[in-house]
Amino acid sequence: MQLFWQLGWFFKAHWRTYSLSLAMLAAVAVMNMAIPYLIGKAVDRLVTPAAGQAEGRYLLWIMLLGLAIYLLRLGWRWILFGTSYRLGNQLRRRFYQRLTRQGQAFYSRHNTGDLMARATNDIDAIEMAAGEGVLTGFDGLLTLVLVLIMMFGFIDWRLALVALLPFPLMGWCFYRISNAIHHHFKAALEQFSVLNDKTQEAIAGVRMVKAMGREQIESKAFDRIAEQAAERNFLVARTEALYEPVVFLSMSAALLLTVSFGAWLIWYQQLTVGQLTSFTLYLVQLIWPMFAFGWLLNIVERGSAALTRVDSLLAIPDSVPDLGLREPVSCALAVAELDFSYPGSRQAALRQLHFTLGQGQVLGLAGPTGAGKSTLLQLLMRYWDTAPGQIRLGGHGLAEYRLDSLRRQFAYVPQDAFLFSASIADNIALGRPDADREQIIEAARLACVHQDIAQLPDGYDTQVGERGLTLSGGQRQRLAIARALLSQAPILVLDDALSAVDVHTEQAILGHLRSRRHQSCIIVSHRLSALEHADQILVLNHGRVLQRGSHAELSRQDGWYRRMWTYQQLEAVLDEA
């Protein structure tokens, strides 16, 4: 029952609604106790010669009690389950907030499918424990206590002791079954995470699977994972199924003992037929508490296994602590002796890097694949932490700023632009939802995507589909650039964001960017023509700066930049020819 202790913070916050629903449950239990007692009285009146109209009065009371029980059951279900749904909603909000605050290190260790499973199945199990678990626990215990009071206090204590002889064995069986359920359900949740992750991967990569003809191979791999998930869920269901036989065997034994010993007491005139009838009805009512305790243990073990998984994720500290209090007032960047290695890696991703970027300046980053360009961008936006003072914005270390304020200084456009399942206008206005249609159109013009949008069936109201797959790669990149330009962040970051557009479109976009002197710009590009007008270009290789200077200076120096520039110029001439 440690689960209820762990959820104590929620029960304290909603003690009024829980108290009201439990009071209604208590009233239902008391009324249920009165019905067998009235039936027993009616039976005794029927077997005596002096029976008048009293049995009709008993029948009326039973009908009234049945109506009251119906109304109270409706009330406590509405209140109790409504409150438990709030717990699920609150846990999901906390879960989502934790995800949004985590950095790249967190997502490199956790798969998307596993996170989705914890946000759905696991929280559903906790929600059920806070609703149906409380119901079954309280109602079952209260019914048990009231039934025992009626059996021991109002009928015959000797008969009650005999009837309860099978119950210790039932309690031991419940203990064994609940332990098995805890382990099996935890394994089922973990396997569901694997299945969820495989499903998400299959949907995201369906085009690649079809292109490579791997449908059969991937289907067999998915079938194996699905079969393992089914087997673990079957173990849970098979273990749960043991509760019902245990209850019925125990109750059948109790009923046999009751009838046998009760008949003996009636033979010796120590018990009436009506009392035995009432006692038997009370004994039948014990079936619900026994089922309730079995179901309660089932729900609690499920919820406990789920809460352990959810809490373990919520307890993970922020990979990038947000302890700063400052608000940026300047976008001047200064990087000094920057060294960085990814966690668990012995090889340095960046070594002894230094440069400055003043307001309105353009910094170009070039170099072969794996040189550390994207790593540098992530460090500037504090997706990973560095040693204090190695990166300074406006004269202060990045850790001194509030994380959300720091990241609002950057308008980041990655190579693989992400678009949401919304209209084109909504995607462009993502970082500035209050922008009007004219501002959205102007940003699209600067990104050279307005003409493409105008040709779509619904223009800016066209729904782009999941992840923007209904658009070409170049259109997605230009929409992402338009979104970044509309945000008006002080620093624009283009991480090879022009790779999917042609040279003429690239030059048009860069021409528009050069006119925005109020905005600093960091451009990463393998196409060196995108860096021609940069104030400073850094050529990186294996995390080190091999060359630095303007385009004119680097194109005259012997080195990687000059060789790559010559090659690309020759390639352009051949393409035009």
Q: Which amino acid is at 195?
A: L
Q: Are residues 38 and 112 in the same domain?
A: yes
From CA 399, how far away is CA 385, in angstroms rounded?
8
**Strands 362-366 and 536-541, how do they pair?**
parallel
DSSP, collapsed to helix, strand or coil, labels residue 492 as strand
- The answer for residues whose C-beta is within 8 angstroms of residue 490's C-beta and 6 or more apart is 328, 331, 359, 409, 519, 520
85 and 166 in a single domain? The answer is yes
Q: From CA 375, how far away is CA 345, in angstroms rounded? A: 14
Considering the domain boundaries, does residue 328 fall inside one? no
Quote the CA–CA distance of 353 and 248 in Å, as a whole number. 75
Residue 54: the pLDDT is 57
| CB contact set of 54 (below 8 Å; sequence gap of 6+) | 42, 45
Who's near 559: CB < 8 A, 6+ residues apart? Answer: 539, 546, 547
Q: Do 351 and 298 fall within a single domain?
A: no
Mark whether 266 and 389 lie in a shared domain. no
The sign of the CA dihedral 246, 249, 253, 255 is positive
CA–CA dist 465, 419 (Å, integer): 9
Give the strands of the sheet with 410-413, arranged side by side.
Answer: 410-413, 491-495, 520-524, 362-366, 536-541, 544-549
Q: Do 549 and 514 lie in a common domain?
A: yes
Both 368 and 275 in a single domain? no
Q: 374: which strand partners?
A: none
In DSSP terms, 366 is beta-bridged to 539
The CA–CA distances, whole Å, from 290 to 137, 143, 242, 244, 567 equal 10, 10, 13, 9, 81
State the DSSP code for 436: -
Q: How many CB atoms lie within 10 A of CB 413?
A: 24
**Could you tell me if residue 385 is inside a domain?**
yes
Is 267 inside a domain boundary?
Answer: yes
**What angle, rounded to 10 degrees, do the helices at 243-267 and 167-204 form?**
160
pTM for the structure as a whole: 0.69
Domain holding 111, by residue range, is: 2-314
Domain of 551, CATH number, reads 3.40.50.300
Note whether residue 409 is domain-resident. yes
pLDDT of residue 51: 47
| Three-state secondary structure readout of 124-176 | HHHHHHHHHHHHHHHHHHHHHHHHHHHHHHHHCHHHHHHHCCCHHHHHHHHHH
Q: For the packed helices 287-314 and 54-101, what is the interaxial angle rounded to 10 degrees?
A: 10
**Domain check: are 242 and 169 in the same one?**
yes
Greatest Cα pair distance in the chain: 123
- The one-letter amino acid code at 176 reads R
Q: What is the pLDDT of residue 254?
A: 82
Same domain, 80 and 136: yes
Considering 314, 349, 380, which residue would you say is the last residue of a domain? 314
Q: Rounded to 5 degrees, what angle do the CA atoms 517, 572, 483 make?
A: 35
Q: Residue 407 falls within a domain, yes or no?
A: yes
Is residue 325 in some structural domain?
no
CA-closest candidate to residue 76, choices 161, 138, 152? 138
Handedness of CA 460, 461, 466, 470 (dihedral sign): negative
Same domain, yes or no: 261 and 406: no
**Boundary-marking domain end, from 280, 314, 348:** 314
Answer yes or no: do 343 and 388 share one domain. yes
What pLDDT sits at residue 55?
A: 58
Find out whether 142 and 25 touch, Cβ atoms under 8 Å: yes
Helices (H) and strands (E) counted in the chain, each on its own, are: 24, 10
Residues, the chain, total?
A: 577
Q: How far apart are the C-alpha atoms of 32 and 68, rounded to whole Å?
A: 10
H/E stretch holding 392 reads strand 391-393
Hey, is 537 helix, strand or coil?
A: strand
Q: Which amino acid makes up residue 126? A: I
pLDDT of 48 reads: 63
Q: Which CATH number belongs to the domain containing residue 76 in this structure? A: 1.20.1560.10
pLDDT of residue 302: 79
d(CA 31, CA 76): 15
CB neighbour list of residue 322: distance below 8 Å, 6 or more residues apart: 101, 402, 403, 404
Are 340 and 379 within 8 A, CB to CB?
yes
Could you give the CA distance from residue 514 to residue 25 in angstroms, rounded to a whole number? 72
DSSP state, residue 317: P
Cβ atoms of 337 and 391 closer than 8 Å: no
- Same domain, residue pair 307 and 370: no
Total tally of structural domains belonging to the chain = 2
Distance from the first to the final alpha carbon of the chain: 78
Strands 410-413, 396-397: pairing kind? unpaired
Is residue 506, in this structure, part of any structural domain at all? yes
If asked whether residues 439 and 545 sit together in one domain, one would say yes
In angstroms, the CA 232 to CA 1 distance is: 24
Helix 15-46 × helix 134-149 angle, to 10°:
30
Series of mean pLDDT values for 10-residue runs along the chain (577 residues): 74 82 80 72 64 62 80 79 82 86 79 81 83 75 79 78 82 81 81 80 73 78 84 84 81 82 79 76 75 74 82 83 84 90 85 89 90 90 88 90 89 85 87 87 89 87 74 85 88 86 84 81 89 91 90 90 89 70
Tell me, yes or no, whether 319 lies in a domain. Answer: no
Taking the C-alpha atoms of residue 372 and residue 349, their distance in angstroms, rounded to an integer, is 6
What does the block give as tokens for 428?
């462009």
Beta strands in 243-357 (DSSP E): 333-340, 350-357
406 with 381: CB under 8 angstroms? yes
Alpha helices (H) along 241-272: 243-267
